[in-house]
């Protein structure tokens, strides 16, 4: 009898737990990213991140552009889930060693410091993915660009995808059709999103290795600019030497990037192609943004939000990492859900213990 009662009680507990879980998942499936996500749990998160960025920028003026690039390279590989921040482990092949990222991405230590300061104030609350997203917005604003309310509520991935990073991230020599295919593959539009997000190259630096080949075979470059670049980046020279992406205002977020393209002074081939490819609809957008910085800023904000909304694949599990470089040893898993596969899909939570995987 006691055994029967025990068995019946166990079945009742299982049924109740399953029902509660179903209700929990349903309630969370409707959740959307929102700028107020941390208002009740970590209201100072943006101020903390901003202060770390201000301090870092004082000695490293290119850090803001580097953080935006980190965010871009994160979102283009299985959504904005901080997978790009994970180090190698016994079970994880880090995206940091993917060809587009290796010896190129930077700013990881600044993200580590942001996470450390946020954890000290709000332990176990703010995801690394959200920290990187906030840092990108703050980087733009600090450089004189627009500011916006950042939708928040992302989760951190439990794994990385180096092979996808190798194939999904557009290299600096892509043509416009290739760029459009890369943007379409992650759900971004191939007109305004492509041109506006490329406009992030209005500040920051690029290594000679990323563009030196075009200095000796690309007729689209302005002749005077070409001579300057050849002196900086000779054949068989130091591939890690840096060149300003915008030679006029290298540390400011403005519309000069588009003016540079009009005078054939785009540093990267993929940038110049947006203007120099005859018949492409990107040309008119470049002209519009060059003539109207406000239009560029407005489109950039909208496109950054769209990119930030790229969700991990449906069914992916996530967490709030304590250290952005490694998954937690044991945590509460959170499963992303999507009813339509769109970038704006909601997030659902699954309370399932995770054994150590790193």
Coil, helix or strand at residue 357 = coil
Q: Which residue has the tokens 């951190």?
A: 156
The answer to whether 81 is annotated as binding is: yes
The answer to whether 74 is annotated as binding is: yes
The answer to whether 279 is annotated as binding is: no
Whole-angstrom distance, CA of residue 228 vs CA of residue 167:
32
Residues 87 and 96: beta-carbon distance below 8 Å: yes
Residues 299 and 191: beta-carbon distance below 8 Å: no
The answer to whether 249 is annotated as binding is: yes
Residues 203 and 249: beta-carbon distance below 8 Å: yes
Coil, helix or strand at residue 313 = coil
The answer to whether 95 is annotated as binding is: yes
The answer to whether 271 is annotated as binding is: no
69, 73, 162, 180: the catalytic one is 73
Residue 266 corresponds to which tokens in the numbers above? 């785009």
The answer to whether 220 is annotated as binding is: no
The continuous run of DSSP H or E covering 71 comes out as helix 63-75
Whole-angstrom distance, CA of residue 162 vs CA of residue 176:
24
The answer to whether 77 is annotated as binding is: yes
Whole-angstrom distance, CA of residue 350 vs CA of residue 334:
5
The answer to whether 246 is annotated as binding is: yes
- For residue 73, indicate whether it is catalytic: yes
Q: Nearest-CA neighbor of 122 among 197, 41, 22?
A: 41
Whole-angstrom distance, CA of residue 329 vs CA of residue 333:
12
Q: Nearest-CA neighbor of 28 among 348, 315, 351?
A: 348
Residues 52 and 129: beta-carbon distance below 8 Å: no
The answer to whether 71 is annotated as binding is: no
Those residues with Cβ within 8 angstroms of residue 278's Cβ, 6 or more apart along the chain or in another chain: none
Whole-angstrom distance, CA of residue 250 vs CA of residue 155:
33
Q: Which residue has the tokens 């992406």?
A: 245
The answer to whether 346 is annotated as binding is: no
Residue 129 corresponds to which tokens in the numbers above? 């993915």
User: Mind telling me the catalytic residues?
Assistant: 73
Q: Which residues are annotated binding-site positions?
A: 74, 77, 79, 81, 83, 95, 170, 201-202, 246, 249, 254
Residues annotated as binding site for substrate?
170
């Amino acid at each position: 009898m006691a055994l029967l009662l025990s068995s019946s009680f166990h079945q009742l507990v299982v049924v109740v737990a399953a029902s509660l879980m179903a209700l929990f998942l349903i309630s969370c499936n409707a959740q959307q990213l929102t700028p107020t996500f941390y208002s009740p749990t970590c209201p100072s998160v943006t101020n903390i991140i901003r202060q770390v960025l201000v301090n870092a920028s004082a000695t490293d003026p290119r850090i803001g552009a580097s953080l935006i690039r980190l965010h871009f390279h994160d979102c283009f590989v299985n959504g904005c889930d901080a997978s790009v921040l994970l180090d190698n482990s016994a079970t994880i092949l880090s995206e940091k060693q993917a060809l587009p990222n290796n010896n190129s991405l930077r700013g990881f230590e600044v993200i580590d410091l942001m996470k450390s300061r946020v954890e000290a104030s709000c332990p176990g609350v703010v995801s690394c993915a959200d920290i990187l997203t906030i840092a990108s917005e703050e980087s733009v604003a600090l450089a004189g660009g627009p500011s916006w309310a950042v939708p928040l509520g992302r989760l951190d991935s439990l794994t990385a995808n180096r092979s996808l990073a190798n194939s999904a991230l557009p290299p600096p020599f892509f043509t416009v059709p290739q760029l459009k295919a890369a943007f379409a593959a992650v759900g971004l539009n191939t007109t305004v999103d492509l041109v506006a997000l490329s406009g992030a190259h209005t500040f920051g630096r690029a290594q000679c290795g990323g563009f030196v080949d075009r200095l000796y075979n690309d007729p689209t470059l302005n002749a005077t600019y070409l001579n300057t670049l050849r002196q900086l980046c000779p054949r068989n020279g130091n591939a890690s030497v840096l060149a300003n992406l915008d030679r006029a205002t290298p540390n400011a977020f403005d519309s000069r990037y588009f003016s540079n393209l009009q005078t054939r002074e785009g540093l990267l081939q993929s940038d110049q192609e947006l203007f120099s490819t005859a018949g492409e609809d990107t040309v008119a957008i470049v002209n519009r943004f060059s003539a109207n910085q406000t239009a560029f800023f407005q489109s950039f904000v909208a496109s950054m939000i769209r990119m930030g909304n790229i969700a991990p694949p449906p069914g992916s599990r996530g967490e709030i990492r304590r250290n952005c470089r490694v998954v937690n040893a044991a945590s509460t898993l959170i499963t992303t859900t999507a009813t339509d596969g769109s970038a704006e899909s909601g997030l659902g939570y699954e309370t399932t213990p995770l054994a150590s995987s790193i």
